[in-house]
């Protein structure tokens, strides 16, 4: 009963996070209907999205004690220490990418602002370093929970983050126009581009 409740909350929190985040990265579109207040509203959506993501992360940890009755081993065949080391190997580079993305985006990470200029730093190499750092952390948490099921379930977040990044780019095209289009041609989505390679 508790296992099903925890997993149900995880699914609901993930869906609510996705919906709130999509709204949070659409200030230019929202500005067309509500004016300058759209940026403040999107900051509120971003905060709400963060709350739901935190809830989903907590559900991962609770899953350790209340796993679903699925036809998979409850834990990996090795000890928890090995799983924790795998989690660390995933978390260190992912955390670094998130840190660089947050640092170089500045206040825009949580508070979209109309006057904000396009980012520099790591954003000159890849367009979505925060997303690239964030979705692997679900695998890190799954390994911390020592759960084969959660490791498989975490694959769901790859298309979710891809969708979120594409939603953000649609709005950035509205905000920055041809400058952002040229930026997309020059800079890779999740991986750096080879010199001379154009975005398809």
Region 104-132: mean pLDDT is: 87
Region 34-57: mean pLDDT is: 95
Residue 200 has pLDDT above 60, yes or no: no
Do the domain assignments include residue 199? no
- Which sign, positive or negative, has the C-alpha torsion 92, 94, 100, 102? negative
pLDDT single digits (tens) 143-167: 999 999 999 999 999 999 999 999 9
Asked if 114 contacts 31 with a C-beta cutoff of 8 angstroms, the reply is yes
Q: What is the pLDDT of residue 110?
A: 85
Region 15-38: mean pLDDT is: 94
Give the range of the structural domain holding residue 141, as residue numbers without chain letter: 2-186
Do the domain assignments include residue 196? no
Do the domain assignments include residue 193? no
Residue 114 has pLDDT above 90, yes or no: no
pLDDT single digits (tens) 169-187: 999 999 999 999 999 999 9
Residue 199 has pLDDT above 50, yes or no: no
User: H or E segment at 101?
Assistant: helix 80-105
Do the domain assignments include residue 172? yes
Do the domain assignments include residue 50? yes
Count how many residues are written for the chain. 200
Residue 47 has pLDDT above 70, yes or no: yes
Query: Measured in Å, how far apart are the chain's first and last C-alpha atoms?
Result: 48
- Domain of 56, CATH number, reads 1.20.120
Joined tokens for residue 91: 């978390």
Q: What is the pLDDT of residue 78?
A: 96
Region label for 199, one of left (φ > 0), alpha (ψ between -120 and 50) or beta (otherwise): beta
Residue scoring higher pLDDT (57 or 194): 57
Region 64-70: mean pLDDT is: 94
Q: How many CB atoms lie within 10 A of CB 111?
A: 15
User: H or E segment at 72?
Assistant: none
- The per-residue pLDDT of the chain, averaged, comes to 93
- With pLDDT > 90 as the criterion, what percentage of the chain qualifies? 86
Q: How would residue 196 be classed by pLDDT, with cut points 50, 70 and 90?
A: low
Residue 25, Cα to own-chain centre: how many angstroms? 12
Q: What is the pLDDT of residue 27?
A: 94
Region 10-28: mean pLDDT is: 96
Number of domains making up the chain: 1
Q: What is the pLDDT of residue 31?
A: 94
Q: If you search the block for the tokens 């999740």, which residue do you land on? A: 190
């Amino acid at each position: 009963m508790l296992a099903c409740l925890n997993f149900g909350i995880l699914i609901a929190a993930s869906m609510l996070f996705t919906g709130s985040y999509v709204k949070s990265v659409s200030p230019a579109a929202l500005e067309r209907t509500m004016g300058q207040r759209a940026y403040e509203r999107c900051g509120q959506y971003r905060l709400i999205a963060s709350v739901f993501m935190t809830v989903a992360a907590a559900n991962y940890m609770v899953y350790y004690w209340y796993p679903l009755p699925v036809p998979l081993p409850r834990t990996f065949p090795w000890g928890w220490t090995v799983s924790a080391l795998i989690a660390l190997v995933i978390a260190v580079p992912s955390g670094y990418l998130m840190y660089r993305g947050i640092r170089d985006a500045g206040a825009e990470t949580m508070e979209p602002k109309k006057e904000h200029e396009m980012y520099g730093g790591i954003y000159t190499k890849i367009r979505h370093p925060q997303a690239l750092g964030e979705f692997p952390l679900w695998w890190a948490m799954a390994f911390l929970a020592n759960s084969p099921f959660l490791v498989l379930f975490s694959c769901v977040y790859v298309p979710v983050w891809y969708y979120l990044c594409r939603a953000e780019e649609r709005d950035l095209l509205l905000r920055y126009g041809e400058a952002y289009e040229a930026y997309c041609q020059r800079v890779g989505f999740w991986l750096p581009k080879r010199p001379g390679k154009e975005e398809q």
